[in-house]
Structure 1
Amino acid sequence: MGFYKTGATYTGKHGLSLKLNGFEPGINDLAEARAIVIHGADYVSENYIARNGRLGRSHGCPAVATGVHTQLINMIKNNTCLFVYYPDKEYFKESSILSNKQNAAFFSEQQTNVLNDL
C-alpha cells in the first residue's frame, strides 16, 4: 500500500514490468529490494475468476490484466506518483504522508468519496 514513484521498465518473468520505489519508510520503502513491480498476469481476468472462483495471487505485486499492461506501464513509467489503496486504518495512522493533517483531511475526503461510489 501507499505512495510509490514509478521507475524504469524491464522484461522479466511476466514480460514487460515496471519497477516501483516506495516513498514511505516502514511501509513500502523496501519495494525495490523485494522486487515489487507492476506486471501483467493471466490470473487477472474474468476467465480466471470463472475457472477458480477468485483472482490469482501476485505475492505483493500490483498485477494487471495482460490485455492492458503494456499500455498502462508505458503510460506511467519513469517518475509517476502512484497511490496503492486499501482501506486499512493502521496504514492511515502509520503513513508519514497521510499523518500530515492537511494531507490526511484531503485523503480522508477522497476515501469517503471512493467508498460511497462502491
Structure 2
Amino acid sequence: MADETLQINRRSMLASGGMAALGALYFGQSFKGLLAEPGTRAVPPAPVAPPIAPRASTPAPPPELAYPSVPAALLTKARAALDTHAARITRRDRIALVDFDASSAEPRLHLIDLEAGTARGLLVAHGSGSDPAHTGFLQRFSNVPGSNASSRGAFVTADPYVGKHGRSQRLRGLDPTNDNAFERAIVLHGAWYANADMLRTHGMLGRSQGCFAVGEAKLPEVLSFLGEGRLIYADQA
C-alpha cells in the first residue's frame, strides 16, 4: 500500500512538474512572441519633424529698374503706348526707345527685349530741322511735311524696302504728333553720317531729314531686332 501511494505521489509530482514546464515553455514562447512581433502591442508613432517654412522670395524690381541705361520716365511712356496702340502694335516682345534728351554722341537708341529683360544702346541721328545750329542736341520736334525735323511719339514698324538709302524700313506714326510720318517718308535706314567714326572727327553725328538714321554696320541688327509690327517710341522726358 505504501509503495502504491508513493508511486501515485511520484506520478502527481511528475505530472505537476510537466505541467509547470509546459506552462513555463508556453509563457516563455508567448513572451518571446510579444518581443518579436511589435505589431502585437501599441507602438507610439515616430515624431514628425515640423514642415520647413518656404524661403521668402525677393520681390521683383519694377520693370524700369531692369534696364539701368534706359530713362525710366520714357520707358513708362513706351509701355503706356503699347497699351494705347495695342490694336496696331501686333508684336509686344521687343521695342525700340529713342531718348532725344541725350546728344547724338550718346547711344540713345535703346533696343529693349521685354521678355529677356535686356537692353542695348546704339547711336541714332535726329533731323536737321530739329537742330538747325547743329549742336548735337535736338531742339524741337515737328510733324510738318518739309520741316526735316524729328517727330515725337509712338511709331509702328511697317514693311522693309530698298530705296535711296539702301535697305530701309517704313514707319507709321500712331499719335497726333507724328501721324504724318508715312507721308513725310520718315523711315529707319543706315547712313554714313551716323557711323561711330563721326564722333572721332566731329564729336557728334550728322543729321537726317527727320528719319531714324543709324550706322551702316548697325542697320542689319536693328532691322532684325524689330521686324514688322513693333514699337519705336521717341520723345524727351
Please tell me the root mean square deviation across aligned C-alpha atoms, in Å: 1.3
Q: Residue in 1 aligned with 2:169?
A: 18
* 8 A contact 2:196–2:215 mirrored in 1: no
- Please state if 1:48 is matched with 2:198: yes
Q: What amino acid does structure 1 have at the position aligned with 2:174?
A: F
Say whether residues 1:69 and 2:219 are aligned partners.
Answer: yes
Superposed displacement of residue 76, structure 1? 1.0
Q: 1:9 aligns with which of 149, 160, 165?
A: 160
- Give the 5 Å matches for 1:98-109: none
How far the C-alpha of 1:32 sits from its partner, in A, is 0.4
Name 1:36's counterpart in structure 2: 186
Q: Which has the higher strand share?
A: 1
Instruction: Spell out structure 1 runs of 4+ moving beyond 4 A.
Output: none
Compute the displacement of 1:77 (Å).
2.2
The structure with the largest alpha-carbon Rg is 2
Corresponding letter in the other structure for 1:11? V
Q: Deviations over 1:55-98 (max 9, x none)?
A: 100111111111110121132121101111223xxxxxxxxxxx
Please give the secondary structure, in 2, of the residue aligned with 1:16. Answer: strand
Contact 2:169/2:223 (8 A) holds in 1: yes
Cα distance change of structure 1 residues 74 and 46 upon mapping to structure 2, 3 Å threshold: closer
Please report the TM-score for the alignment, with normalisation by the length of structure 2.
0.35
1:57 to 207, 212, 218: 207
Q: Give the drift of 1:3.
A: 0.3
Name the SS of the counterpart of 2:200 in structure 1.
Answer: helix
Unaligned stretches of 5+ residues in structure 1: 88-118
Cα separation, 1, equivalents of 2:219 and 2:196 = 15
Paired letter, 1:20: L
Q: Quick one: higher RCO (CA 8 Å, sep 6+), 1 or 2?
A: 1
Of all paired residues, the percent bearing the same amino acid is 36
Give the TM-score, by structure 1 length.
0.67
Q: Which runs of 5+ in 2 are unaligned?
A: 1-151
